[in-house]
Structure formats: C-alpha cells, structure tokens
C-alpha cells in the first residue's frame, strides 16, 4: 500500500486540457438549463451525455469488464451499507455546476427519497468510478468536480494498474479543487471502507478487483 499526503495547494487534480474548441463563441450551461433540456426532450436518455462543469460531454463507451466490475462492486458493497443508505448505479448526482453520473454512489436515505431530485453532495457519502480508458479523466477532471462539491470519499477502481485509489479530505470550491489525501491499494492489500469518520469494514483488494 502506498500513501501520499498532498498539500492543500496541490494541482494534481486540475481538469485536463480541453479538446480544441471552434474559433466561435461557446457557452457553458447551468444545472437548471441542463435539466430543462431533459424536461423539454432536447436531451433524452438515448443521448449518452452528462453535464461536467457546465459542459455537456459524451459519456465513455463501456466494455464488458467495466460493466461486470460495476455489477460485482455493487454486490460487494451491499454487505457494508450503513443503515438508512443505498447504492445507486450510473445515476445522476447534482452539484452546483455539474450533473455527473458516477458508476456507483452510496447515498443516504431510501430510493424513494429521490423521486423529485437527484442526490446532492450533502446526501452523497461515497462515489466510485471504474476506470480503464477513462483513468486520466477520472483522476483529474472527475476528481476536481467531486472535490469541489466536498463529496467526502472518492474511489477509483483502477483496472489499468489493478489497484484501488482512495481519495479523502476534499478541499471544496477554489481555483484548484482537489482531495488532500490519496491512498493506493494493490490487489494484495485490504481497503478500509470509512464513511463519516467511521470505519464500516475492510475489503480485500482482490475482492474489489475481479
């Protein structure tokens, strides 16, 4: 297991360089505008997009290992759920500037709590991204979004390096939002599941990395 403590001023989770934009005026969308596009049918469930920092961006294409890992992780984590919480799979959470769809999110309350709104950062205990081709973006761009929103714990199940990356202590809003603590667990390590300063259990890395 490797452990790294990053200073609050770290820039390791800054958004990556954006693709080249056309030499024309462009604009970002608010969360409210993005939601209205869905309500009006401008965007539908068939449009594989999400709102990240005001930009409407395409979601990554999934391969079999990616999707199988998500299903496997959901079953593993069910054993450790705190009372009054549940797991959402590839569903929206709402921050001030984004509506990402993490592969897994552990949120407070029952599913019926979210009939009229998506979970907000204060209702989100843990987000998990399963990363293969999306690894750089999940570390940098998604990491900065979750840190800005102060989501307390962020995991990347890293299929490229066969490791679980655990990020905690988010900085919150600022010029370079980031998680101040980053620990990397290999297959042979045990990964602690700690939420709200309470350890719920320890999971073998091999069980999280099928």
Q: Mind listing the pLDDT tens digit for each residue in 23-65?
A: 666 678 888 888 888 888 887 777 777 888 777 888 777 789 9
Residue 20 pLDDT class (50, 70, 90 cuts)? low
Find the distance separating the first CA and the last CA of the chain, reported in whole Å.
18
What pLDDT does 48 receive?
77
What pLDDT does 9 receive?
35
What pLDDT does 21 receive?
58
What pLDDT does 43 receive?
77
What pLDDT does 60 receive?
73
Q: Is residue 42 part of a domain?
A: no
Q: Is residue 20 part of a domain?
A: no
Q: Is residue 97 part of a domain?
A: yes
Tell me which residue range forms the domain holding 117: 62-208
Concatenating the DSSP letter of every residue in the chain gives -EEEE--TT--TTPPPPPPPPPSS------HHHHHHHHHHTSS-TTS-EEEETTEEEEPPPPPHHHHHHHHHHHHHHHTTPPTTEEEEES-----SS-B---SEEEEES-GGGGSSSPPPGGGEEEEEEEESTTHHHIIIIIHHHHHHTT-SEEEEEETTTTEEEEEEEE--SSSS--EEEEEEEETTSEEEEEETTEEEEEEEHHHH--
Question: Which residue did the predictor score with more confidence, 158 or 1?
Answer: 158
What pLDDT does 22 receive?
60
Least confident window among 32-36, 104-108, 110-114, 148-152: 32-36
Question: Which residue did the predictor score with more confidence, 81 or 53?
Answer: 81
Task: Read off the pLDDT of each residue in 72-76 and give the average, rounded to a whole number.
Answer: 96
Q: Is residue 118 part of a domain?
A: yes
Least confident window among 29-43, 79-93, 153-167, 180-194: 29-43
Into how many domains does the chain fold?
1
Q: In this model, does residue 135 exceed pLDDT 80?
A: yes
Q: What is the pTM assigned to this prediction?
A: 0.82
Residue 3 pLDDT class (50, 70, 90 cuts)? very low
- Say which CATH number the domain at 145 has: 3.90.1570.10
Q: Kindly report the average pLDDT of the chain as a whole number.
A: 86
Q: Is residue 148 part of a domain?
A: yes
What pLDDT does 24 receive?
63
Q: Is residue 13 part of a domain?
A: no
Q: Is residue 18 part of a domain?
A: no
């Amino acid at each position: 297991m490797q452990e790294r403590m990053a200073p609050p001023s770290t820039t390791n989770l800054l958004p990556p360089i954006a693709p080249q934009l056309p030499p024309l005026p462009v604009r970002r969308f608010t969360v409210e505008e993005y939601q209205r596009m869905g309500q009006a049918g401008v965007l539908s469930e068939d449009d594989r997009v999400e709102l990240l920092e005001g930009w409407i961006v395409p979601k990554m294409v999934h391969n079999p290992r990616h999707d199988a890992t998500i299903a496997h992780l959901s079953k593993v984590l069910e054993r450790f759920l705190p009372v009054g919480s549940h797991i959402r799979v590839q569903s929206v959470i709402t921050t001030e500037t984004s509506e990402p769809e993490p592969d897994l999110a552990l949120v407070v309350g029952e599913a019926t709590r979210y009939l009229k709104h998506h979970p907000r950062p204060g209702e989100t205990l843990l987000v998990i991204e399963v990363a293969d081709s999306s690894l750089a973006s999940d570390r940098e761009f998604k990491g900065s979004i979750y840190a800005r929103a102060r989501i307390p714990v962020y995991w990347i199940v890293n299929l490229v390096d066969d490791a679980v990356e655990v990020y905690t202590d988010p900085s919150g809003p600022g010029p370079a939002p980031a998680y101040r603590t980053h620990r990397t667990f290999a297959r042979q390590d045990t990964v602690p599941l700690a939420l709200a300063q309470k350890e719920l259990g320890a999971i073998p890395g091999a069980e999280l990395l099928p």
